[in-house]
Amino acid sequence: ESYVVIYFRCIIVEKIMSEAQLKQVVFPVAGLGSRFLPVTKSIPKEMLPIIDKPLIQFAVEEAIQAGAEEIIFVTSHTKIAIEDYFSKNSELEKRLRDSNKNELIQTIHPDYLKNVKFSFVRQNEPNGLGHAILQAKNLITEDFFGIVLADDLILSEVGCLKQLKDIHSKTNSSVLGVFSAPDSELKNYGVIDASQEDELLKLNSIIEKPSINEAPSNLAVFGRYILSKSIFNILEETKPGLNGEIQLTDAIRSFLSSDSVFALEFQGRRFDCGSKEGYVSAIVDRASHLENFKEIVKK
């Protein structure tokens, strides 16, 4: 009889694991974007276009591909354009319909956005990424939620957040996206110390912006996370760190003493569109994959 019980337990556990969902995704968009001044004086960095589509739309599409049903923006008063962008513009839709430009309506209000809920919460001062995430605390109802930093653009066949979600489904734990950074760039990122465990990378520790001598590996964390909501209790206790900001990395380090966190080296092309160099590379890359632009890029 005990075998039967174990058998059914296994089935139930497997079912829970395979059905892990990622319904809520937080988009912190309240940063100053000072590396992109002067344009970010009045245009949010996340609205910068990669040809005709703003960075934030790529990021929202990626979240929806991972199963997101609610997108939570952590915004500031300078980011109203993002709110407008995801609102229905009936006046424009009517004008397009009246002038027989129906195909454009799909581009301004695509079907895949229709069932998604958009929520907004303010971060009144840019006190760091950890502080921004903490503002979403009261909106998170699920045990795990995603975080996407839209200025990290990932172009890939399977969306990057979906790749993280697949690891989350296997482990029922928090997961961070990482990439192999050159030595010279490690000082700009959170860098992980991880061990291989059943083909997965399990974190031992994480250091924010280490010098080359302090860096435990070349695996740097970028803008994709799936975190347990217990991170909020830790964020509330996290003191300002580097630059006087509340760092998400510091909270994740404390979290590691009680919970498991895994890392995934994602498949795809990453562009740091918070920097001008990364932004230009992203435009050239996208253009070189689009039929209309290939020749222009070649020239």
Residues near ligand UTP, by CB under 6 A: 28-36, 45, 74, 123, 126-129, 131-132, 149, 151, 274
How far is it, in rounded angstroms, from Cα 47 to Cα 36? 12
Q: Are 232 and 137 in contact (CB under 8 A)?
A: yes
CB of 110 to ligand UTP, least distance (A): 23
Residue nearest to ligand UTP (CB): 31
CA distances from 139 to 121, 133, 147, 165 (A): 9, 11, 13, 20
Q: Are 122 and 135 in contact (CB under 8 A)?
A: yes
Identity of the residue, 62 or 151, whose beta carbon is nearer to ligand UTP in the bound complex? 151
CA distances from 297 to 5, 153, 273, 285, 288 (A): 62, 20, 19, 9, 6
CB of 36 to ligand UTP, least distance (A): 6
How far is it, in rounded angstroms, from Cα 24 to Cα 17? 18
CB of 106 to ligand UTP, least distance (A): 28
Q: Are 64 and 165 in contact (CB under 8 A)?
A: no
CB of 55 to ligand UTP, least distance (A): 9
Give the length of the chain: 299
Q: Supply the angle between the helices 160-171 and 2-18 in degrees, to the nearest 10.
A: 160
CB of 81 to ligand UTP, least distance (A): 13
Identity of the residue, 149 or 186, whose beta carbon is nearer to ligand UTP in the bound complex? 149
CB of 185 to ligand UTP, least distance (A): 14
Identity of the residue, 159 or 190, whose beta carbon is nearer to ligand UTP in the bound complex? 190
CB of 25 to ligand UTP, least distance (A): 13
Identity of the residue, 96 or 132, whose beta carbon is nearer to ligand UTP in the bound complex? 132
DSSP string, 60-81: HHHHHHTT-SEEEEEE-GGGHH
Identity of the residue, 45 or 165, whose beta carbon is nearer to ligand UTP in the bound complex? 45
Token pair for 47: 């609205």
Identity of the residue, 131 or 168, whose beta carbon is nearer to ligand UTP in the bound complex? 131
CB of 99 to ligand UTP, least distance (A): 37
Phi, psi of 45 (to 5 degrees): -50, -35
Identity of the residue, 31 or 159, whose beta carbon is nearer to ligand UTP in the bound complex? 31
Q: Are 131 and 250 in contact (CB under 8 A)?
A: no
**Whole-number CA gyration radius for the chain:** 20
Token pair for 116: 């998604």
Identity of the residue, 46 or 173, whose beta carbon is nearer to ligand UTP in the bound complex? 46
* Residue with token string 């591909």: 65
